[in-house]
Every structure is written in C-alpha cells, then in structure tokens.
Structure 1
Amino acid sequence: MSEKTQVRVDSDGNVYVVEGSNERLVGQYPDVSAEEAIAYFERKFNDTNSALVLLEQRAKNGASASEIAESISKISEQIDARAGIGNYDALAERANKLSASLDELSAAEKEKHVEALEKAKAEREAIVSEMEKLAAIDSQKIQWKQTTKKVDELFAQWQSAQKSGPRLSKTEANELWKRFRDARHQLDQHRRAFFAELDAKNKSAKSAKEELISQAEALVADGKGNVTAYRSLLDKWKLAPRAGKKIDDALWSRFKAAGDAIYAAKKSADEAEDESFAGNLEVKLALLVEAETLLTATDRVEARSKLNAIQKKWDAAGKVPRAQFKSTEDRMRKVEQAVRALEDTHWNASNPEKIARSEGLAGQIQDKIATLESELVSAKNEKNTAKIADLEAAIKTQKEWLAVLSK
C-alpha cells in the first residue's frame, strides 16, 4: 500500500480508502480487527499486481498477442473494480502501456507465424518430393525392402508435421497431400505388380524344380544305375530359375537328399563289385610279373609271342577293383610299348623302301660333295678366301647329312 493511501475501517468492518476529499468504499470484512481487514484488501491488490507482473513477463517471452489481450482484459476489469487497497492508478498505467504494445507484438507475431508457415511448407514439400522420387524409380530396379521402410518413414514424418507443425491453408495442404497420396499409391501399385510377377515366377520355378525332385526321388530305388541320370537332372537344376531363397533352399535340400541316396547306393554297389573282383586282381598281378620280364627282351618275335599269350590270359581274367585299375593297366601298357618299340626298330632297319630311299639320297649327297670339293680346289688355286669358306661350310653340311643316312 502506498504511503499516500489513507484507509479507514468503521465499526461494521467497512473499509474505506481516502482519495483527496472523498472516501471510496473498498469492501466489508466484519468481525475482524481493522488491521486484518486492511491486510485482506491489500492482498487483493497484490494478487492483481502479481497477475499483471506475470502477464508482462509472458509478453517479453514471446507469448501470442491474442493471449496477452485476453488476459489483460480480465486484469483491467479487476483494476477498474478497485476492490483492494493499493495504487490502482499505477496498475492502470502499466496495463495501458502493455495494451499499447500489443500492436507491435501482434506484428512481430504475424511475421514469425509467416516464417513458420513457409518453413513448414518447405518441409512438407521436401517430404512430398522425396516420395515422388521413389515413385519415379523403375519398379524392376527398386530395392523394395529398403524402399518400403523409407515410405513408412516419410508417412510418419508427414503425420508428425500435420499434427505438430503450423497449419497450412486448406488449398496448400490439400495440394501437397494429393501429390503425396498419389506418389504413395503409385509406389504401392508398383510394389504389388512386382511381387505378383515375382510370385508367378517363383511358382513356375518351384513347379519345375519339384518335377526334377520327383524324377530324382524315382531314381533312388535303382541306385547305382541312375547316377548318370541324376547328373543329367542336376544339369537341368542348375539351369532352372530360382524360386526365392527360402523356398529354393528347401527344394535343394530334397533334391540333394535324393542324390545322396543314389550316390550312397552306387558306393555300396561298387564296394560289393570290387570285393568280387579281388581274385581277378591277383591273377593280373601275377601276369604283370611275367609280362614285365619282356621289358629287357631283345628278340622281337619271342617277345611278341609271349606278350600275345599273356594278353589272352589278361582279358580272360576280367575286371579288377577300381582303385587298382589304372595302376595295373599302366604297367601292362608299358610292356606293350616296349615290345612295339622292338618291332619298330627292326622294321626301320629292314624296310626295303626306306633303304632304297636312303641309298638313293646318299648317292646324290656323295655326288654333291664331289662337285663341291672340285670347286673348292679351284677356289684355293684362285686364292678366293670368301668362296673357300662357303664351300667348306657346304661340304661339312652335306657330310653331316650323309652320316645321318648311314646310321
């Protein structure tokens, strides 16, 4: 309460404020002391003052002009009522000053609101543009898992902007939403078409591979005899289209199981067959010991006769276990090659046609040497050093050829 404010409390508890030569009834607070009555009405003034102080702070902190105007109207009513003890003139002056600042506050608020709207529009435009870029990608090149996740993120951003961002004009909001919705719908159509086509391909691939599996499983009962047929099916499997990883893995597991069964049956049959060939192996090993004595033979006729007899026994002995087949055959081939080499050597040495060719060529070379030697004598008489060197080299070459023919 101002020091200039004079207060009077009568016997009925009526509280008066003296203003100049007049008194103004503030209110009544009966059955209490004068001090208590005065204190009560001072608190009422202080409440109004506190409300004004709070409103002034809100205005400084950027509260909207409309909110400030509404609140100051209520406080002004309290000031006009003057239902307390205090300097209401000072409160009225502050309230009027705050009201006068509302125009400036409203203009700043409007500018800020326009900036916020522009920013919000730009953010939503960016969301729409991103969605339209996704919709423009070739559906066959889109990574749908990542794209679907991105679409969900953009939709969540759009909802958040609509809920918490500034409200755009109805025309702008509708236009942006239409673009966003159309792009999203186009993407959804592309996705549905892509997966429908993929599903059709997967079904076709699955059907083709199930047919191969049926054929492979039908071969299992025949075991060994169907390894070649299974390999043919395996080649077809490699050429068949994929049916999606999960489905393809399951199909391959079935196909491979059939192959494993076929190979296991073949292995079992091979082992049984090899066991039955053990006796044949002993016979052939003994024949090899006999045959390998021909590796050092010098009589071609005797060697061929012995080899022919051994070969007849070899063929009659039959098959050997697979593990020993190559080693035994290689040893027999070595003996056969040695006998053939004996025969080739004899033929080369006794071939009349070859001998005739050698003797005829040798005569020609000898005549050539005689001619060259005659020319060499002349060159030496003429002391033609260059010609002498050429003739000596030519004579040397011809003699080397003659030596080869004489062997």
Structure 2
Amino acid sequence: MSSDPWGRVDDAGTVYVRTADGEKVVGSWQAGSPEEALAYFERKYDGLVVEIGLLERRVKTTDLSAKDASAAIGHLREQVDAHHAVGDLDALRVRLDKLVETVDQRREERKVRKAQQTEEARGAKEQLVAEAEELAQSEQWRAAGERLRALVDTWKGLPRLDRKTDDELWHRFSHARSAFSKRRKAHFAQLDAQREEARQRKEKLVAEAEALSQSRDWGPTAAKYRELMQDWKAAGRAQREYEDDLWSRFRGAQDVFFQARSEVFAERDTEQRENLTVKEELAAEAEKLLPITDLKAARNSFRALNERWDAVGHVPREDRPKIEGRMHAVERAIQEAEEAEWRRSNPEARARAAGLTGQLQDAVDKLRGQIEKARAAGNNAKAEKLEQELAGRQELLNQALKGLEEFGG
C-alpha cells in the first residue's frame, strides 16, 4: 500500500483522496505501482488547479460574462466533487466559492453600470429629440438637413432603452424629422413653381427679344430692350438647366441688334471706347474698396459706382467680359462679406456650434477617463480600442472648434 498527505492506494489498487468529510474513492488502478497511481491522479489535480487559476484570471482581467463564468465554475465544481484527483480538493472548493462571490459582485457592478449607461443614453436621446424638434422649424434647409442626418447617426450609436421609453422618444424624433422634411418639400415645391413661372415668363421675353433683333428702328428698339431687361430681372431665376440657355438667347438677340446698330453707326465705336475708358476708371475705383474693411461704406460706395456704371453705356463687345468681370469680382466680394457677417451674427448657428463642441468635448473627456481606467486595470486591448475611438472624436472636436472660431468664439 502507498500513500501521501492527500491520498493513498490500498492493496486492492483502490485510490482514495482525503477530504474534510473523510476519504473518498478516486478510482481503481491496476496498470502499475501505487506510486504511479498517486502520480497520475495528482497530475489530474494539478490540471484542476491550472484550470481554476485560468478562470480566476479571466474573471478578474477580462469582460467574461457572469453567465459564462458561472457555467465554467459549475463545470469545474462537478470535476472537483467527482473526486477523480488526489490533492487538497477542499481548498479548490474554497477557491471556487470565492470565485462565485467575485462573479456575483461583478454581476451587481455591471447592473449598476448598465443602469447608469441607460440613464445617460436616455438623457442623450432626450437632447437629440429636443434639438431635432428645434431644427424641425428651421428654414436653413441644407444645414438643418445635414444636422438631422448627423443626429440620426448619433442616435444609432446610443444603446437602446426600455421599449416604451425608446419608442416614445423615437416617435418624437421621427416626427420632428418628418415635419422638417414636409416643410422642406413644400418650400422647394413652391420654389420650383416660382422657377417654372419664371421660365415661362423668360421664354416670352426671349421670343420678344429675338423678334426685335432684326429691327432697324434704333432708338425705340433700344428702349424696348431696356424694358425687356428690367422685366428679365424682375422675373426671377428659372430652373438651373434652363437659365443659362435662356440668358444666352436673350443676350444673343440683343447682341445681334446692337451689333447691327454699331455697324450702321460707326461713330459709336469712338463713343464705346470712351465708355470703356470711363468704366475702367470706375472699375479701378471699385477695386480700391478691396479688401472689405467697412462693409456698410463699401456697399454704399459700390452702389453709387454701379449707378454711374449703368449710366455710361456700352463698351466694345470684345472688352465687355473683362471689364464687367472686374466689377462683378468686387460685387461678389461684397456679397461674400455680407454672408460672412450674417453667419457671424447668427446666434442660433453659433449656439448650435457651441452645443456640438461641448458635446464632443464631453465625449473626449469621458473617453480619456475610460482609457485611464482600462490602463490601470491592465486591460490594454480595451484601452487601445478606446484610443482609436478617441482619435476619431478628437478630429470631430477639432473641426467643431475651428467652425466655432468663425463665429468669433
């Protein structure tokens, strides 16, 4: 018979293990010496020790679910309770009991975290709903539409709440988007109707202009063309796909007439060259308004220059694009300055930009805290994953801060 502190083998080859409840039969060994029998079942015990140690580390250092951890503990407990190993089985039971306590504690902690995350998600979704309902009344069609699409992406990234709450918030969110979409469709439908009306009106103006192009009644016809030009400006813009072609035909008809008049009255060439000199002086005077430092003064000065410009008359045809382009460049600069001034003075747009920046800053700060906790817990994989997410949020924050600077703060 052979024995060690935790087990023995009797003369019949039966292997026993010693426990707090007395000796338990481990198994029967007939294939070799008692020492070999004990060594075999001691190795099985060492295997259990290794498995329990691995499970302890998984529970402490990974996000192993409570359900999976409990199943693994149960499987190991069955092996320990089966007494098919020689060693301190009672110590293994104690370790498994402590592991159960740890898993239960982790389960409760996760419940608390989940409740906190749910509350945070509810608050975030309520903010999204509130912003969507505000945007639903906006007439900044493009900006509001893009922001609503961004809110949808943000919503998709948030965890679900309980079904009743989530459905109610989503209904309000979806209703706000639908309301904005209906208003936008109605607006552009009205705009399309106006542009179609403008197209029909300009078609008639083009027909009148083309009918007059062969006239040799210089004075009255030139006056009629001025009236047509006023009517053209008052008609508004047609659809983009028609506007340029209609303008080309309208302007082309006038060019035919005025070119014929120029050919008949050669002396007008001199007048047009003189007009070019005057317009070059006016263009140079207008260009001195750049860069825009005093918008109101620049606008008033340009208006006065433009009135003088309109009173000058025609210039040689080949010089017209260049000289008109110079005045148009100044006009565009003033318009851009007006738009920039409007954007800077728009409190609603600034508030939205500041709100977005604040949300992104909070998200960045939160991710940094999570990364520090993950590093402290030794969970480098989770920390690296969070750092990748942080990089994306930081880029969005940088863009938002840059946009906010355009509002002067």
- TM-score with structure 1 length normalisation? 0.56
- Closer, same or farther: CA 88–241 of 1 in aligned 2, 3 Å: same
Whether 1:146 and 2:146 are equivalent positions in the alignment is: no
Whether 1:178 and 2:175 are equivalent positions in the alignment is: no
Check conservation: 2:7, 2:87, Cα contact below 8 A. no
Deviations, residues 41-96 of structure 1 (Å, cap 9, x unaligned): 55543443333223323433465444432332222112212333433221111101
Structure 2, unmatched stretches of 5+, are: 270-409
Whether 1:111 and 2:112 are equivalent positions in the alignment is: yes
Whether 1:206 and 2:232 are equivalent positions in the alignment is: no
- Closer, same or farther: CA 98–263 of 1 in aligned 2, 3 Å: same
Check conservation: 1:224, 1:262, Cα contact below 8 A. no
The corresponding residue for 2:224 is 229
Alignment of 1:6-405 (within 5 A): 6=7, 8=9, 16-19=15-18, 24-26=25-27, 41-61=41-61, 63-137=64-138, 142-161=139-158, 165=159, 167-222=160-215, 225=218, 226-243=221-238, 247-271=242-266
- Closer, same or farther: CA 109–22 of 1 in aligned 2, 3 Å: closer
1:193: Cα distance to partner?
A: 0.8
Further displaced range: 187-196 or 46-55: 46-55
Further displaced range: 214-223 or 204-213: 214-223
Check conservation: 2:192, 2:239, Cα contact below 8 A. no
- Closer, same or farther: CA 22–47 of 1 in aligned 2, 3 Å: closer
- Counterpart amino acid of 1:143? Q
Deviations, residues 292-349 of structure 1 (Å, cap 9, x unaligned): xxxxxxxxxxxxxxxxxxxxxxxxxxxxxxxxxxxxxxxxxxxxxxxxxxxxxxxxxx
Check conservation: 2:26, 2:85, Cα contact below 8 A. no
- Counterpart amino acid of 2:179? Q
The corresponding residue for 2:308 is none
Query: The residue matched to 1:136 in structure 2 has which SS?
Result: coil
1:173: Cα distance to partner?
A: 0.9
The corresponding residue for 1:325 is none
CA distance in 1, matches of 2:259, 2:151: 57
- Counterpart amino acid of 2:50? S
CA distance in 1, matches of 2:43, 2:224: 106
Q: For the pair shown, which has the larger CA radius of gyration, 1 or 2?
A: 1
Structure 1, unmatched stretches of 5+, are: 275-407
Check conservation: 1:224, 1:269, Cα contact below 8 A. no
1:229: Cα distance to partner?
A: 2.3
Check conservation: 2:196, 2:239, Cα contact below 8 A. no
Query: The residue matched to 1:19 in structure 2 has which SS?
Result: strand
Query: The residue matched to 1:86 in structure 2 has which SS?
Result: coil
CA distance in 2, matches of 1:29, 1:158: 68
- Closer, same or farther: CA 158–27 of 1 in aligned 2, 3 Å: farther
Check conservation: 2:24, 2:83, Cα contact below 8 A. no
The corresponding residue for 2:277 is none
- Closer, same or farther: CA 154–247 of 1 in aligned 2, 3 Å: farther
- Counterpart amino acid of 2:201? A
Check conservation: 2:58, 2:64, Cα contact below 8 A. yes
CA distance in 1, matches of 2:77, 2:202: 88
- Counterpart amino acid of 1:206? R
Check conservation: 2:15, 2:37, Cα contact below 8 A. no
1:245: Cα distance to partner?
A: 5.3
Query: The residue matched to 2:5 in structure 1 has which SS?
Result: coil
CA distance in 1, matches of 2:28, 2:166: 56
Kindly tell me the number of residue pairs found equivalent between the two proteins: 262
CA distance in 1, matches of 2:40, 2:210: 102
- Closer, same or farther: CA 224–100 of 1 in aligned 2, 3 Å: same
Check conservation: 1:49, 1:91, Cα contact below 8 A. yes
1:123: Cα distance to partner?
A: 1.3
Percent identical among aligned pairs is 34
- Closer, same or farther: CA 23–266 of 1 in aligned 2, 3 Å: same
- Counterpart amino acid of 2:165? E
- TM-score with structure 2 length normalisation? 0.55
- Counterpart amino acid of 2:156? Q
Check conservation: 1:121, 1:168, Cα contact below 8 A. yes
1:246: Cα distance to partner?
A: 5.6
1:244: Cα distance to partner?
A: 5.1
